[in-house]
A and B are shown apart, each in its own frame.
Chain A
């Protein structure tokens, strides 16, 4: 029976029998999907329904069904809050740093690495540049503290010993954004080069040969062969990042944050965590989170449209 069902369904039985056979054949597969499906429903879709409490005055003791509905009151509060503009500005500035200064770094690494002739050197470089990706943000921020804390940091001690004043990397708000960017590049630029390297591996070498015949030196080969080969990956990834402007790495920012740099380091996620989880303002912060998610959703849909306009496949 089973073997037959696996072979050719359309031959056997009428339309109802056919549908039944298909369900039967699919049954073990549905069983395999079920645990995962339950995960998505319980831990992703129920919380999505939970955003309704953004329109309530959620009472933790009464629960969802006994809480009072307040309409858009929490959103009104959010937009009226002076913090809101600072949250938005901080998010946008950090995102802009990521988009325009972090984004080119992996491309540069991939292009340069592609020019290396010695395989062993290439291997060594690849292994080393992937390394920081496997460190946690706790470790990366920890290393930063070890090197740059004002009193004990090794770099600062060296500076003080040689008669210069220490850099207040961890506490001076002016340093925060650049430190954030440099840590990001340090940790993830090498890892993000993988996808560009994969695209470069598929370049047909005859393209380079043709370029040489046409008299192109190594620089012109990069310009006329390497970069065009990366074009569509670059466009897709850039647009994808555009869609994730609101996601700028909660753990990273939270770990770098302290009371001294809060004016530049506070973003929506950290604000939600502080006010929501630690101070228990569930409804208001759900509204903040919903605002963030909606902006993200709109950006992703726009980004996808944009990608199709560029003649690329959509991202989804």
Chain B
């Protein structure tokens, strides 16, 4: 259906402007990132003395070697992996179960439940009451504070619900006639059918969990339990504002800071291109209301 562009007429000036805008956008997006990548492989001498460059004269992987042998950094990385894996598992299980339940239009009380979900998107108790509830539950300094406080993103729940609603009813009827229970139906038929959508939401939740900073500093006080984002922030701020003396930390070299930025960003950047084709679909469903 698409690529009937030829019929739309040729206009070299127009095409030129289109490509110019997009290439300018690509350069602006990639440039800062490439600078960080390339200087993470540069020697300290070069970073300190040469202003701005995209190719180091002398390559070294010293910075990565240093980070990968630094127990604190590895510990923070491990914390982030734990938080992301457990958090995302809880997110996706709770979200898909609830979304499936709410996708049944005949279910009694569905309207009330939908309203309860929707209302949390437009009104909230705010930071302090949430913090106090977590504290009362004794979850401060526990990863359960992170897992449970953000267990379901209402927007994802609603999109997933519309997705489940779009699965043809006949399929279920047939399965039920064959004596399939509701749970089996969900696990054996609905989930396999929804894999692309579930993979996309797993990625969205994983992005949130991996990148979370605020909730970690809010709920986790013990620096040994900090996730990578908090540790990275500490590395960048401590060593660029002259606070190192009071914190007792030594000074990180610029290359080490840049390598830390890259390692923090890398896991998600490696994954997202594989799921990219599903994004469009997921967002489209978002505009469908149930």
Contacts and interface: CB of A to CB of B under 8 A. Distances in A.
A40 B116 CA distance: 8
B242 to A, nearest CB: 9
B289 A313 contact: yes
A142 B232 contact: yes
Interface in A154-179: 154-155, 157-162
Nearest to B30: A128
A198 B288 CA distance: 13
Nearest to A300: B122
B63 interface: no
Nearest to A204: B1
A212 B8 contact: yes
A138 interface: yes
B22 interface: yes
B280 to A, nearest CB: 5
Interface in B205-232: 207, 210-214, 218, 229-230, 232
Interface in A128-151: 128-139, 142-143, 145-147, 149, 151
B81 interface: no
A7 B173 contact: yes
A263 to B, nearest CB: 19
Interface stretch (A78-86, A89-97, A113-121): A113-121
A139 B129 contact: no
Interface in A167-201: 186, 190, 194-195, 197-198, 201
Given A40-B152, A158-B52, A316 B173 contact: no
Interface size class of B (residues with CB under 8 A): 35 or more
Contacts, number: 301
A2 interface: yes
The majority secondary structure among interface residues of chain A is helix
A68 interface: no
A136 B265 CA distance: 8
B32 interface: yes
A40 B176 contact: no
Given A28-B181, A146-B257, A6 B176 contact: yes
The majority secondary structure among interface residues of chain B is helix
Contacts of A139: 229, 232, 261, 264-265
B29 A137 contact: no
A32 B97 contact: yes
A26 B283 contact: no
Nearest to B208: A136
A44 B121 CA distance: 10
A285 B126 CA distance: 9
A235 interface: no
Interface string B254-290: 1001100100110011001100100110011011010
Contacts of B214: 250-251, 254
B124 to A, nearest CB: 6
Contacts of A145: 236, 240
B226 to A, nearest CB: 12
Interface string B129-143: 111110000000000
Interface in B171-229: 173, 176-177, 179, 181-183, 186, 207, 210-214, 218, 229
Interface string A35-79: 111011011111111110100000000000000000000000000
B7 interface: yes
A48 B129 contact: yes
Contacts of B280: 194, 197-198, 201
Contacts of B258: 146
Interface of A: 2-3, 6-7, 22-23, 26, 28-30, 32-33, 35-37, 39-40, 42-51, 53, 108-109, 112-113, 115-117, 119, 121, 124-139, 142-143, 145-147, 149, 151-152, 154-155, 157-162, 186, 190, 194-195, 197-198, 201, 205, 208-209, 212, 217-219, 221, 233, 243, 250-251, 254-255, 269, 272-273, 276-277, 282, 285-286, 289-290, 292-293, 296-297, 300, 313, 316
Nearest 6 CB-CB pairings of A with B: A289-B126, A50-B129, A47-B125, A36-B98, A158-B51, A136-B211
11 contacts: A32-B97, A39-B148, A51-B129, A138-B213, A143-B33, A147-B35, A157-B51, A208-B8, A218-B11, A255-B213, A297-B123
